[in-house]
Structure 1
Amino acid sequence: MAEELEPALPRDVVLLAEKVLARAKKRDVMLATAESCTGGLLAALLTDVPGYSHVFDRGFVSYSDDAKCDLLGIEREMVDSCGAVSAKVAEAMAQGALDRSAASLVVSITGFAGPGDDDDEEGLVHFACAAEDRDTIQREEHFGAIGRDGVRLAALRVALDLFKEGLA
């Protein structure tokens, strides 16, 4: 059971994280994360469950555009032309984390948790799941104006589902 975050998270999210970690352990797969709008929540959740430390390598928190470029090796031109919240940047984040870690499966998250500028769609989140031996899976979600906490929790659920899909 997750000891630290569990009281703050819905039970279904904690259970989903435990299932992902158990499946990764069974398949001997190392995980990593590349997060923006969730600010490291996914990495914190995956490291909160005792007995699975050997299946999580690292988490990249690349909240700013500069961090996405510096930490994950994304070309600045891509961020500027596509936008930090885009399918291409989510895919590049996942690939960058895969290239810069010992993990063989990575999930990335970038989005607008809100509230933000009038130009930003609150609740728009892009995800990518990259693995060494298969095509990257990309997902786009429109959670709506459900508040920062609501968007971040919804993003955790989707990210964990992507890890499950990648471990299938």
Structure 2
Amino acid sequence: SWQIPEESQLVFRAPAVSLECCCFIDDKEYLSGSDDGSLELWSVMRKKPTHIIKNAHPALAPSSLDSADEKLPKENGICKPQSLSSAHSWISAVAARKGSDLAASGAANGVVRLWTIQPDSKGMQPLFDLPLDGFVNSLAIAKLGRFIVAGVGREPRLGKWGRVATAKNGVAIHRLSLQDDSEDL
């Protein structure tokens, strides 16, 4: 960001080699996803992320996905990674419902993950996962938060270094049921 009176700029330094996607949450915070599988929460007032979730979308081996009854060790609320291409765990899409605490991230590990963002860049917590087969190449959350739209494909949008043969290229729409703050009163 440029600071015109001082004729200087603030350069944001990502901890990963490559940031794959980003979106604004509001006018002071934004979210980014990296090729190392990290999800970063940023403040426009700081050069570095205020909160990082490493391995936010671990790739699961197909045998792990098929054995639903098996108790698997968990990390960040989901199963620990197995041996698959690292391209499957790259965070390739992020979205946020503007002015709210709801965000979403997607990769090719079989889920779109919804997150709650804590106030004042304090962190993020996973809410739940929406199953989705394929590379999540784009995400959007409706203005009222009633649904989430994902652009999904067999391959990543920027190359052919990974493939999910069972996926279909297209658009997926998931209906969301969010609790309204006024219902709590």
TM-score if structure 1 supplies the norm length? 0.32
* Larger fraction in helix: 1
**Higher strand fraction: Structure 1 or Structure 2?**
2
Q: Quick check: which has more Rg, 1 or 2?
A: 2
